Amino acid sequence: MSAQIVSLNGDVVSAESACAPKPNDILVKELERLLEAAKAGQIAGMAAAYHHHDRTISYSYAGSIGGFGLIGGLACLKERLVQLAIGRS
């Protein structure tokens, strides 16, 4: 007996998709843009969360991360992610 597993947002979850990583071109371009900005000294610090191909989540931070400005930026990002999660883009 086999059943189709569906995530909370309605996407079908398959074992193949969880095990077969493939690059996301939009993500790669954004990371390249951020790297160039960091090399130019335009970005002095960062904090980020990562969604891995196996659906695990991790985070990291580097550089100048002190102060409340970065916390405010993360709060704005969190609100945007919540709106996307509940379908209010």
**Residues 80 and 73: beta-carbon distance below 8 Å:** no
Residue 18 belongs to some domain of the structure: no
Residue 9 belongs to some domain of the structure: no
Which token pair is 50? 């990562």
Number of domains in the chain: 1
Q: What is the pTM of this model?
A: 0.71
Residue 35 belongs to some domain of the structure: yes
Name residues of the chain where pLDDT drops below 50. Answer: 1
Residue 14 belongs to some domain of the structure: no
Residue 41 belongs to some domain of the structure: yes
| pLDDT at residue 74, as a whole number | 95
| Neighbouring residues of 53: CB distance < 8 A, sequence distance ≥ 6 | 18, 20, 21, 22
Domain that holds residue 27: 23-85
**Residues 61 and 50: beta-carbon distance below 8 Å:** no
pLDDT tens readout for residues 7-16: 777 777 666 5
CA distance 50 to 37: 20
| pLDDT at residue 1, as a whole number | 47
pLDDT tens readout for residues 71-86: 999 999 999 999 999 9
